[in-house]
Copies of this chain bind each other. A is one copy, B any other.
Amino acid sequence: MKVGIFDSGVGGLTVYKTLKKRYLFCDFIYFADTAHLPYGDKSKKTIISYSSRIVDFLLKKKCDLIVCACNTASSVALPVIRKQSPVPVYGVIESAADAVRSLKKVAVIGTKLTIRSGAYERAILRRKKSIKLFARPAALLVPIVEEGWADTDVCRRAIEIYLADIKKWKPQALILACTHYPLLKKQFSRYLGASVKLIDSSSIVKTLDAHIAPSKRKGKSSFFVSDDPEHFGAVARDIMGLDVGKVKLCTKYL
């Protein structure tokens, strides 16, 4: 089985790592739209157009299943790319909403576009109307992670500013609605306390388990980017601790 995963950059590798570990037998094609990153502060129309071109690419590569690892694209582009694709397309929102359905007070942080779209709220309230929600953007945490500054007081102070009101509000869980945020789990827990459950996109495996049949073969992974393969490889190694091998450049969909 061949699984296509896409994101604007290295962030979606947090999802890739989870899937690769669980579905060792699958082949993976990862596409990072590095020529257009970041997605989080662009318009809905533009993100739909970028996502749609990537899905075309993954379909031509004969993927049996596509995972949109990017929260922003999942928030705004999923209905369009689902219509476009003859194979199933999964976003990262539904499974996060499933993971909090038994709770009463849930906070969400993400990019500006993700939060403005209201997609997480809609998915959660569709499951249970009585859940109380608190959503806010936390844009700067992405470039802080990419700068390798997760362990600096710049990061600590940014988290304090973004999460101060959420901490006072005392949520039971915080949804990390951006692929980079799982890399700051330790920092979030330190600030909010260990009792606040952190939900990230790896909850998607609960959805995928039903659609992926185990096998004994060993899968392989390929990585494609729309710009600067060397930089992608270096950042994957430095901030994700992942050796992605030779990254291929694909500018056909620019």
The chain A residues found within 8 Å of chain B, CB to CB, are: 34-36, 41-43, 46, 49, 139-140, 142-144, 147, 149, 152-154, 157-158, 161, 227-228, 231, 254
Chain B residue at smallest Cβ distance from A138: B147
CB of A121 to closest CB in B, whole Å: 21
Identify which of B142, B144, B158, B227 contacts A43 (C-beta below 8 A): B227
Expressed in whole angstroms, the Cα–Cα distance for A228 and B35 within the complex equals 18
Expressed in whole angstroms, the Cα–Cα distance for A36 and B36 within the complex equals 5
A152, A227, A231 — most chain B CB neighbours (10 Å): A227
User: How many copies altogether?
Assistant: 2
CB of A46 to closest CB in B, whole Å: 5
A254 contact set on B, CB distance < 8 A: 46, 49
Identify which of B34, B36, B140, B153 contacts A149 (C-beta below 8 A): B140
Chain B residue at smallest Cβ distance from A45: B227
Expressed in whole angstroms, the Cα–Cα distance for A112 and B247 within the complex equals 21
A152 contact set on B, CB distance < 8 A: 157, 161
Expressed in whole angstroms, the Cα–Cα distance for A254 and B48 within the complex equals 14
Question: Is the Cβ of B41 less than 8 Å from the Cβ of A35?
Answer: no
Identify which of B34, B46, B157, B228 contacts A227 (C-beta below 8 A): B46
A34, A43, A49, A228 — most chain B CB neighbours (10 Å): A43
Question: Is the Cβ of B154 less than 8 Å from the Cβ of A147?
Answer: no
A231 contact set on B, CB distance < 8 A: 41, 43
Question: Is the Cβ of B140 less than 8 Å from the Cβ of A144?
Answer: yes
Expressed in whole angstroms, the Cα–Cα distance for A43 and B153 within the complex equals 30
Identify which of B36, B41, B42, B157 contacts A157 (C-beta below 8 A): B157
In the complex where A154-B158, A157-B153 touch, is A42 in contact with B140 (Cβ < 8 A)? Answer: no
A158 contact set on B, CB distance < 8 A: 154
Expressed in whole angstroms, the Cα–Cα distance for A158 and B158 within the complex equals 11
Chain B residue at smallest Cβ distance from A41: B231
A144 contact set on B, CB distance < 8 A: 140
Expressed in whole angstroms, the Cα–Cα distance for A46 and B250 within the complex equals 12
